[in-house]
Every structure is written in C-alpha cells, then in structure tokens.
Structure 1
Amino acid sequence: MQTPDEERELAEVIDRLTKRFPTASTAEVEGAVNVEYLALQGNPVRDFVPVLVEKQAKKRLKHSHSPSEE
C-alpha cells in the first residue's frame, strides 16, 4: 500500500525520468516505474522504495531510450 509520501516521491521519480528520457512516452516511464514498484511491494522496509524504483526503472528505460544530457 502506498503512503502519501511514497505516492509523492514516485510522482517525482516519474517526472525526473520523463525529463531524462525525452524519447520515452509518459506512459512508458509510468509503466517502468509501476513494474519496479510492484516488484518491491512486499518489502516491509519502505524508506528506500522510491530510490530503488528509480534506479531499476532507469535501467529498464536505458535499454530502449537514450538519456538526455543533464
């Protein structure tokens, strides 16, 4: 279950990854984030879930899109 903080942090992850991968659609970025979030759903320690989700979603998106220079 997402906490309000997790929900806000995941929205920020989606925003950052959408900017980093401009050739990826928002739906693709959201999909990558959701896949990685669901993979960690049963994890009892929630503090680092958004960070871990962002790292894994970034790897997933790199396979099909080039990141922009920042």
Structure 2
Amino acid sequence: MEEREAAELRSVGEVVDRLAVKYPSVDRAEIARIVDEEHHEFDGRNVRDFVPVLVEKSAKKRVKALQSA
C-alpha cells in the first residue's frame, strides 16, 4: 500500500472516531459502515486530496439523521 493510500485510510478512520464522539447514541459499527460506504463512493477517482473531508461531510449527514430518528 502506498503512503498516500495509507494516509487516506488513517484520515477516514479518524472520521469514524470524530463522528462516534459527536454522536454517541449511534452505534460505532453503524458509523463505521456508513463511513465505509461513503468512502467507496470515491473508488476509481483520480483526485484523492479531499476524499476524507468529503466522506466526513456525507457521513455526518447520514449519522445525524440516524440520531434524530
């Protein structure tokens, strides 16, 4: 695995951590599943610089909706 890929995966893992702290009523495994789904939306795309930020934004919306439900 390239260093760039590893750094992206670490950043995406940190997204799970941040959302789990922010939304403690939502199961961490569910948050991880959502983040993983959002991350895979960017598979095959060439530009990777902002993927963790975009994943966090999309996943946060979905997790927030779960907390409200």
Shorter chain as normaliser: what TM range? Answer: 0.7 to 0.9
Runs (4+) off by over 4 Å: none
Give the aligned CA root-mean-square deviation in angstroms: 1.6
In structure 2, what is the equivalent of residue 6 of structure 1?
A: 8
Which structure 1 segments of 5+ residues have no match? none
Segments of structure 2 that go 5 or more residues without pairing to the other structure are none
* Corresponding pairs, count: 66
**Alignment TM-score, normalising by the size of structure 1:** 0.86
Partner of 1:38: 40
Q: What pairs with 1:16-55 in structure 2 (closer than 5 Å)?
A: 16-55=18-57
1:41 Cα deviation after fit: 1.1
Question: 1:62 matched to which residue of 2?
Answer: 64
Amino acid at match of 1:34: D
Matched-pair identity in %: 47
Bigger share in helix? 2
Quote the offset at 1:6 in angstroms. Answer: 0.7
What is the Cα deviation at residue 61 of structure 1?
0.7
